[in-house]
Structure 1
């Protein structure tokens, strides 16, 4: 019987969803006081400032993959090891699931890879019972791949299997940001603990800090070479949407870099950068006037959250949205009402792991702080003055 790649991928994803639910539930059973594990995602959404109203189900693969790839507050990464094996495989499957949801036309090789990710994930969880069926699904795809390529199964498996290893994300700054202005010079700065305080919840009473996406290689440079062909653009868009959902709001330049790295490219030429930027903007993501990309889950006009980070976290200050910086400033100002403008700027920089002010950092900070001035003008416009003062 001829293998139908999309049906093969669907079978694998449906099966692993059945296996992940009890694995997640068992790992968190002692922490949730009888609540279903989906309550964790509801709290995460609130802390991230996602739009309300989304209902999660324990059998939903999208919810399961979020649980095993995202930091769960004080629980950290309860399913991962030091090598971030689960996060890596989980991110691979997040992209595969996104492709499947958008009716991507998988090749036989891609079907085998997706099935292989499922097998390796269950191997990590020592799910002996589930592995038997997962390996059967993978083997059917391997037989078809070997026949298609005219090689042995061993050769087909060796050439098709991606390493599913962590790709070191090295997001490049624009040249003018790194030449002689100290933007990348090391600092050791941590946020003031006061900015991390939030209301108590099942997953702790801390504000969520910024967590960078774990870059995984989901294809080769040939995918980027084939833009704007249908299969290539669908794969690129699915990847960029998952990254934006995880990190957003995210600067367009950073998203382009992370997307390119997902296809084995470390340096992006301007011509390719334009192609990737176009595909990202065609993926249904909102790009604001400051070139920040917002996931569908966040209303950019209503978002009032911010994600502190220390200087050891790879996120250049100029790649933090002015909206996010202004949100942090409002929070600090509310907590320390007597703080003056200079002290406020110092506190905001510390919140995002900075102390040194380069020219570009100063300009970016001024852009963000100008939003506070807009707040004051807006408040003044709504003051009900006495008639004699009008």
Structure 2
């Protein structure tokens, strides 16, 4: 049996075991609510419409892993504990499933790591019967793995140690100046920013009504799993490299979209263990992103933001707040998202805001305490026509 066939069988077994485990946890929180209904409502809160008839199929591993890796609105991460083992393993398996769907030619190391992650995930859920099945599949790959690793004397090559997000993906602390002294204007700005985190234009319906809460779903940074080694990015002539890069980008766009092109490049570098890239390598990665638009159906707007295939920029009216601290650089927030935030603030603010106050409220929604001069060019069109003429 080929490595790809082994991975396929592991995906089949895992997708059969997870539905009952997911439902059991949701039953503890909301009896009689199908877990697929929860995910569907979370998407609705985010303004994402997935029209496919099988978009929430209970036996689809992609759907199951979304439950384990994404913040479920007011429920948070109900399958995780402080260790975040479940979401870490599930995030890696999302990448595996994506590669499998693109008929990626898995080598023995990739296949073994994928199988081991499946085993560990079911063990964490206490499903020993399913874990034993997957362990047998994993062990069948040992002869191939030992040969590939030259007798397997470097256990660290298995890549099973816990991973952390690269520091290059977080907004620099220098972007967060000290809080300005409180005054009447500051009070209005803070009140407006706080009120905008309540989602008034969405009401839960059906079996999940009242379960997910009215708070707007905050921005959640995507953490790339390790996909390869730094040297793999030295040549895009290899089909394997192109597949891995596009698989990582597809996952990131689905998780964070709209997401800026430069942020996607950093994600991909991190997935291959690199901290920086030459301008040539950056352009090569960006070409792979553009190829993904043709094959995947995602969108790239005029500001170089990538949108998931199932999200239409003109129809998307949401934004992802980060009220406590910036989760992205200011340049990594799309103009559409800022405009949506500005419109929401102005519509539901009880007091009249000047244009300057509206700008300050917008940046506050995304975790920034002060308007830097370089923000103005992007902020001005976001608030154009929304502030009160009397306060100009």
- Identify the TM-score tier after normalising by the shorter chain: 0.7 to 0.9
Other-structure match for 1:151: 151
Other-structure match for 2:253: 244
Other-structure match for 2:383: 369
Q: Mind listing any 5+ residue stretches in structure 2 that lack a counterpart?
A: 181-189, 205-209, 388-392
Counterparts of 1:314-353 in structure 2, within 5 Å, are 314-336=327-349, 338-353=352-367
Q: Mind listing any 5+ residue stretches in structure 1 that lack a counterpart?
A: 374-390
- Would you say 1:265 and 2:263 are equivalent positions? no
Other-structure match for 1:379: none
Q: What is the CA–CA distance in structure 1 between the aligned matches of 2:15 and 2:179, rounded to whole Å?
A: 42
Other-structure match for 2:207: none
Q: Report if the CA contact (8 A) 2:259-2:332 is conserved.
A: yes
Q: Which of 273, 278, 283 is residue 287 of structure 2 equivalent to?
A: 278
Distance 1:140 1:157, change over 3 A: farther
Other-structure match for 1:308: 321
Q: Report if the CA contact (8 A) 1:220-1:263 is conserved.
A: yes
Other-structure match for 2:61: 61
What is the CA distance between 1:352 and its match in structure 2?
1.0
- Would you say 1:133 and 2:147 are equivalent positions? no
1:18-48: CA deviation from partner (whole Å, max 9, x where unpaired): 1211111111103234121001111111111
Other-structure match for 1:386: none
Other-structure match for 1:233: 242
What is the CA distance between 1:75 and its match in structure 2?
1.3
Other-structure match for 2:198: 197
What is the CA distance between 1:85 and its match in structure 2?
1.5
Q: Name segments (4+ residues, structure 1) moved above 6 Å.
A: 188-191
Q: Report if the CA contact (8 A) 1:333-1:344 is conserved.
A: yes
- Would you say 1:46 and 2:44 are equivalent positions? yes
TM-score, normalised with respect to structure 1: 0.86
What is the CA distance between 1:157 and its match in structure 2?
5.4
Other-structure match for 2:183: none
Other-structure match for 1:294: 307
1:248-303: CA deviation from partner (whole Å, max 9, x where unpaired): 10111111101110111112222211111111121123211111111112101211
Distance 1:366 1:116, change over 3 A: same
SS of 1:241's equivalent?
helix
- Shifted more, 284-293 versus 94-103: the winner is 284-293
Other-structure match for 1:116: 116
What is the CA distance between 1:76 and its match in structure 2?
0.9
Distance 1:221 1:23, change over 3 A: same
Q: What is the CA–CA distance in structure 2 between the aligned matches of 1:183 and 1:311, rounded to whole Å?
A: 15
- Shifted more, 272-281 versus 192-201: the winner is 192-201
Give the aligned CA root-mean-square deviation in angstroms: 2.4
Aligned length: 363
Other-structure match for 2:390: none
Distance 1:169 1:18, change over 3 A: farther
- Would you say 1:28 and 2:26 are equivalent positions? yes
What is the CA distance between 1:188 and its match in structure 2?
6.5
Q: Report if the CA contact (8 A) 2:178-2:369 is conserved.
A: yes
Q: Report if the CA contact (8 A) 1:50-1:297 is conserved.
A: yes
1:168-219: CA deviation from partner (whole Å, max 9, x where unpaired): 342388xxxx8xxx96245569883311212354222211110101232222
Distance 1:321 1:183, change over 3 A: farther
Q: Report if the CA contact (8 A) 1:195-1:332 is conserved.
A: yes
